[in-house]
Amino acid sequence: MMEDIFTFADKLGPLKIIHVHEPSIGLKAVLVVDNVAKGPSIGGMRMASDVSTEECLRLARAMTFKNAAAGLPHGGGKIVVYGDPKMPRTDKEKLLRGLAQALRNEDSYIFAPDMGTDEECMAWIRDEVGRVVGLPREVGGIPLDEIGATGWGLSNAVDVALEYCDFELRGARLVVQGFGAVGKHVSSFLTEKGAILVAVADSSGSIHNPGGLDVNRLLELKNAGSSVTDYEDAEKLDRDAVIDVECDIWIPAARPDVVNEDNVQRLNTRLVVEGANIPFTHGAEKYLHDKGVLCIPDFIANAGGVICAAMEYHGASQTAALGAIEEKLRRNTAQVLEVSRREQVLPREAAMELAMQRINRAMSCRRYSLFSTAEGWI
């Protein structure tokens, strides 16, 4: 049994895994604090019916790499909450307030929004424990989903990546898999620069129009609680068929492992920029690399949200946060692609090297590599 608990343990972590269960309100959740050598962990709180401890572990590790690569004074952590994110708001509030109370003494983790949670959810957390980012503007936060922090970062990563491709953004065919907080904003940013959104998917299905989709109309549908499949001037497809649409830029912005060794052969694109966390398996990324398809890894490309969160936590303004996202995303994307080209390795391998250098340096400064006994530190 003990061997099972430590299956995912290595020299980086996880520092702790906490399972939270409160039957009186139907609360089941998992917190993974992966590595805090660089400081208290930041990572989003995800709500879905089919989450798991393994998924939480993998996402927390991705946050460790993401925060390190972005040069933030924070480690990686994650929470998954078992439940339907579309449950009645009153039930959701009761659940998340209970979770915040259960974790009120876990100073090694800072709450942040993710799939299934938003700025209002973070306001509930703040009311309970105060250790949170991604707050509504009305309570002094930088609402990272409202301003599209992750999408803004992705658009900057695309700009840099195109310097290593043989096509331009203007007129490029764009496909976005997932049209939530990340997908809708990156679609807006890139189409404003001249890209043509030809296909998009959400949990209900996909739509395709080779002549282009109206992003503003799609936003109106989503804001009204409808699906992208309610868009009229487009071919309706199954949800997973979005992988088959020929394009120049393909952006996954939904769940993990959507592209793997079994379906990557169907992908027909020239550039992949990972807007979701761990959306591709390693084998899928290697397949694309061998075919000459550039793939910008998740913890480099989608770091805009956590950069914004860290800036908010340390008292920065929205303007400063957006500037930091642009500067860090452009610098890191260029650095990773230069190493990848020079050393003939996958972009993910180059990105891992960048992140590990920073993590190892932070760990070397501690008596215990994963935690500190100093007061006020983790």
What pLDDT does 145 receive? Answer: 86
Query: Across residues 169-182, what is the average pLDDT?
Result: 96
Is 222 an annotated catalytic residue?
A: no
Coil, strand or helix: which one is 233?
coil
CATH number of 149-354: 3.40.50.720
> Which amino acid would we find at residue 339?
V
What pLDDT does 255 receive? Answer: 86
User: Which residues are bridge partners to 271 per DSSP?
Assistant: 249, 294
pLDDT band at 374; cut points 50, 70, 90: low
Coil, strand or helix: which one is 232?
coil
Residue 188 to residues 116, 174, 218, Cα–Cα distance (Å): 21, 11, 10
Render pLDDT for 107-120 as a digit per residue (tens, 0 to 9): 999 999 999 999 99
On whether the 2-63+76-141 domain is CATH 3.40.50.10860, my answer is yes
What pLDDT does 4 receive? Answer: 74
pLDDT band at 375; cut points 50, 70, 90: low
- What is the C-alpha separation between 118 and 112, in angstroms, rounded? 9
H-type alpha helices, 280-317: 282-290, 298-301, 304-313
Q: Where are the domains of the chain?
A: 2-63+76-141, 149-354
Render pLDDT for 270-327 as a digit per residue (tens, 0 to 9): 999 999 999 999 999 999 999 999 999 999 999 999 999 999 999 999 999 999 999 9
What pLDDT does 267 receive? Answer: 97
According to DSSP, residue 310 is labeled H
CA dihedral 159, 260, 200, 44 (to 10 degrees): -70
> Which amino acid would we find at residue 220?
E
What pLDDT does 5 receive? Answer: 72
Contact 287, 348 (CB under 8 A): no
Same fold, 2-63+76-141 and 149-354: yes
% of the chain surpassing 90 pLDDT: 90
Render pLDDT for 123-139 as a digit per residue (tens, 0 to 9): 999 999 989 999 999 99
Name the catalytic one among 11, 16, 66, 78: 78
